[in-house]
Chain A
Amino acid sequence: MTRPGGIATLAEHKRRRIDELTARTSGTGGVSLLRDAGRRLRRNPAAVVGAALILLFLVIAIFAPLVAPHDPVQRFPELTSRLTVDSIPGATAGHPLGSDPLGRDFASRMIYGARQTLFVGVLATLIGLLSGVLLGAVAGAAGGWVDVLIMRITDVMLALPSLLLAITLVALASESTQWTVIVAVAVVNVPVFARLLRGSMLAQRESDHVLAARALGVRGRDIVTRHMLPNSLTAVIVQATLTFAVAILDAAALSFLGLGDPDINRAEWGLMLGVDGVRYLEVRPELAYFPAAAIILVALGFTLLGESMREALDPKNRR
């Protein structure tokens, strides 16, 4: 126990875990560890299932225009003609899943939903990751008062539970757009990534390969970008995988609270579940069940893969 908990206990847990991980790997070289981890990952059924789910999701998202029978925002007369405020037509010829509350093709919206959900999840994760990594790298590389300042800021951000922080950010935004949601969900992850990277960098500062590089006269900036950052990346990737699942769940929660993406033309699973799904649960439960199932499967996929990766990278599991 190096330090008794703290405001950022969660982050320090991760840091400790990553410190240990990086310290051990740096001696033997990262590449062999990765290869080793990759081999163990392929043998882990959880990882395979997770990867398969993600792959399926990616394929649908990327090829949505080819897979989907229709345009997701077009309203069809054959659907609107039977649509009323209290009944939404089910499956008909050409519309395998029937209509959504506005007479659009629900199947196409589900398929395009993969694309929008991927978009929201990836961007929210990426923005959080990049800002977090930048902050963490600066803190870890600079040390001193810069480090203290950045870590205090992340402490303050961590002082609020994640979804609560996102809700507050949306409430405090001067506009409500899809970007408000993405940024709110992203900002929540900034301190996590920052802590993660800083911990990893600190551990590496004293590690053999960094010391060796320094002894060879490599410039400080190059040491950071060529040696320390790449080594921290595995940890970041693992965390990003897990973050993705949380991001799409948070986006759905925001929609449910009425604070999500206001453009209901956009087919995004969280939005479809949180707004229409809940509102029309009795009229047509499929509007909730399908997006919910999709979200669960995708979140499950990313969690499975992320957890398996973390487990595989844990030196304790090396046999």
Chain B
Amino acid sequence: MVRVVLRRLIQLGVTLIALMTLIFFWLRNLPGGPVDALLGERATPQTRETLIRALGYDQPIWVQYWRFVRNVVTGDLGNSIRTGEPVTAVISRAFPATVELALAAIVIAVGLGIPLGYLAARHRGRLLDNATIVVTLIGISIPIFFLGYLLKDWLTQGAHVFPPSGRISTGAGNTDVTGFFVLDGLLTREWDASADALWHLVLPAVTLATIPLAIIVRITRASVLDVLDEDYIRTADAKGLRDATIRRRHVLRNALLPVVTTIGLQTGALLAGAVLTEKVYNWGGLGTLITDSISGSRDYPVLQALILLAAFVFIVVNLLVDLSYAVIDPRVRVR
């Protein structure tokens, strides 16, 4: 086990360094970039030259790379072009927003997905099953930004049930402790802020949950069907074990393995979905940051750090999924 973890950590390091180098040289070869983004429309050619010198772009590329590596190793990922804040501060602020959103989406997707998938499998071929299949198929096929727009149009503009954007009401004056607004409200006993944040969370979380929900339903259904087909279930059945016991002890436990993998894989997809969802709801998390750092502003230091972070998170999550395998399925531990 320790060796597996160690090997993964080395892999992680190698992947990150490779990505870092690739991104660095790539960004240096793009047209426009930091100089354009920093200058706006009114700069004189002299200002432009001053800026190029100030940023060290007049120096040889290997000098720039060396400086970049030195900075990254010391934890300095540069500053946002837009606000001049350290990139690490920008990202660590956006991070809880996305995690809060993603967690809510996972809760919805898992909480609804596993029971629905299980029920569909138990009622195979019947109305519930067929309806579930059709709905989940549409859920996979709908562009989620469009779904977000529809939900927003109906529920925030037509009927003012939910707020149209943001994480909390403007001027709410909530105390920021952890960056997780719902949690912060509980910690500081600002119940109203918590409720307000939760209320803002509903539509974005539902939008983001659509695809993982559909996938989890389908995987659970397929997996439960597979397990129901297995010999040991038939044996258990034949032995006369009670239905509930079979379900709990054999079916669900065994069927859950691929579902856990899927949930792990969906974290990556969630981040991608978050880019769209956060743009629709002006969420202000990592997704918003990605869009903002590319579209229009070309805030390359932020983009660069985000790519590294995304790779990092994805690899770590996969590592965790592997470990959870070991917990759920004892056979894995042998290796």
Selected from A4, A161, A256, A296, the residue in CB contact (under 8 A) with B279 is: A256
Assembly CA distance A166 to B221 (angstroms): 30
With contacts A257-B276, A288-B149 taken as known, whether A5 is within 8 angstroms of B143 at the C-beta atoms is no
> A110: CB under 8 A from chain B?
no
**Total of A-B residue pairs, C-beta within 8 Å:** 143
Assembly CA distance A258 to B27 (angstroms): 20
Closest beta carbon of chain B to A262's beta carbon, Å: 12
Binds A, one of B116-124, B191-199, B234-242, B324-332: B324-332
Selected from B15, B142, B269, the residue in CB contact (under 8 A) with A156 is: B15
Interface pair A259/B141, CB less than 8 Å apart: no
With contacts A5-B325, A257-B279 taken as known, whether A292 is within 8 angstroms of B146 at the C-beta atoms is yes
- Contact flags A91-114 to B (C-beta < 8 A → 1, else 0): 000000000000000000000000
> B26: CB under 8 A from chain A?
yes
Binds B, one of A23-31, A168-176, A193-201: A168-176
> B44: CB under 8 A from chain A?
no
> B275: CB under 8 A from chain A?
yes
Assembly CA distance A257 to B137 (angstroms): 24
Residues of A close to B18: CB separation below 8 A:
156
Binds A, one of B52-60, B93-101, B174-182, B303-311: B303-311
- Contact flags B282-310 to A (C-beta < 8 A → 1, else 0): 00000000110011101000010001001
- Contact flags A137-170 to B (C-beta < 8 A → 1, else 0): 0000000000000000001100111111001101
With contacts A9-B264, A156-B18, A296-B141 taken as known, whether A164 is within 8 angstroms of B275 at the C-beta atoms is yes
> B318: CB under 8 A from chain A?
yes
> A66: CB under 8 A from chain B?
no
Residues of A close to B50: CB separation below 8 A:
none
With contacts A1-B331, A164-B290 taken as known, whether A7 is within 8 angstroms of B275 at the C-beta atoms is no
Assembly CA distance A299 to B261 (angstroms): 25
> A34: CB under 8 A from chain B?
no
Interface pair A256/B143, CB less than 8 Å apart: yes
Closest beta carbon of chain B to A121's beta carbon, Å: 13
Residues of A close to B264: CB separation below 8 A:
5, 9
Residues of B close to A6: CB separation below 8 A:
318, 322
Selected from B11, B133, B144, B303, the residue in CB contact (under 8 A) with A171 is: B303
The residues in B between 217 and 242 inclusive whose CB is less than 8 angstroms from any CB of A are 229
Assembly CA distance A256 to B273 (angstroms): 13
> A304: CB under 8 A from chain B?
yes
Assembly CA distance A295 to B146 (angstroms): 11
> A245: CB under 8 A from chain B?
yes
With contacts A163-B272, A172-B30, A281-B149 taken as known, whether A7 is within 8 angstroms of B315 at the C-beta atoms is yes
> B268: CB under 8 A from chain A?
yes
Residues of B close to A213: CB separation below 8 A:
none
Assembly CA distance A9 to B264 (angstroms): 9
Interface pair B146/A164, CB less than 8 Å apart: no
> A73: CB under 8 A from chain B?
no
Interface pair B143/A259, CB less than 8 Å apart: no
> A300: CB under 8 A from chain B?
yes
Interface pair B275/A167, CB less than 8 Å apart: yes
Assembly CA distance A304 to B303 (angstroms): 37
The B interface, classified by DSSP as helix, strand, loop or mixed, is: helix
Interface pair B15/A155, CB less than 8 Å apart: yes
The residues in B between 11 and 69 inclusive whose CB is less than 8 angstroms from any CB of A are 11, 15, 18-19, 23, 26-27, 29-31
The A interface, classified by DSSP as helix, strand, loop or mixed, is: helix
Q: Count the A residues whose beta carbon is within 8 Å of the partner chain — how many?
A: 48
Residues of B close to A296: CB separation below 8 A:
138, 141-143
> B153: CB under 8 A from chain A?
yes
Instruction: Choose among B18, B145, B329 the residue with the greatest number of A CB atoms under 10 Å from its CB.
Output: B145
> B187: CB under 8 A from chain A?
no
The residues in A between 238 and 292 inclusive whose CB is less than 8 angstroms from any CB of B are 245, 249, 252-253, 256-259, 270, 273-274, 277-278, 281, 288, 292
Interface pair B275/A13, CB less than 8 Å apart: no
Residues of A close to B271: CB separation below 8 A:
161, 164
> B265: CB under 8 A from chain A?
yes
Interface pair A168/B307, CB less than 8 Å apart: yes
> A10: CB under 8 A from chain B?
yes
With contacts A162-B272, A257-B275, A278-B149 taken as known, whether A9 is within 8 angstroms of B314 at the C-beta atoms is no
29 contacting pairs across A/B (C-beta < 8 A):
A4-B332, A5-B325, A7-B314, A9-B265, A155-B15, A161-B270, A167-B290, A167-B294, A171-B294, A171-B298, A172-B27, A172-B30, A245-B141, A256-B276, A257-B275, A270-B143, A274-B143, A278-B145, A278-B146, A278-B149, A281-B149, A288-B146, A288-B149, A292-B146, A296-B141, A297-B141, A300-B138, A303-B141, A316-B229
Question: Taking beta carbons and an 8 Å cutoff, which residues of B are in contact with A?
Answer: 4, 11, 15, 18-19, 23, 26-27, 29-31, 133, 137-138, 140-146, 149, 153, 229, 258, 261, 264-265, 268-273, 275-276, 279, 290-291, 294-296, 298, 303, 307, 310-311, 314-315, 318, 321-322, 325-326, 329, 331-332, 335
Known: A4-B322, A160-B314. 15 other contacts (CB 8 A): A1-B331, A7-B11, A7-B315, A46-B133, A159-B314, A160-B268, A163-B273, A252-B146, A257-B295, A270-B143, A273-B146, A274-B143, A281-B149, A292-B143, A295-B141
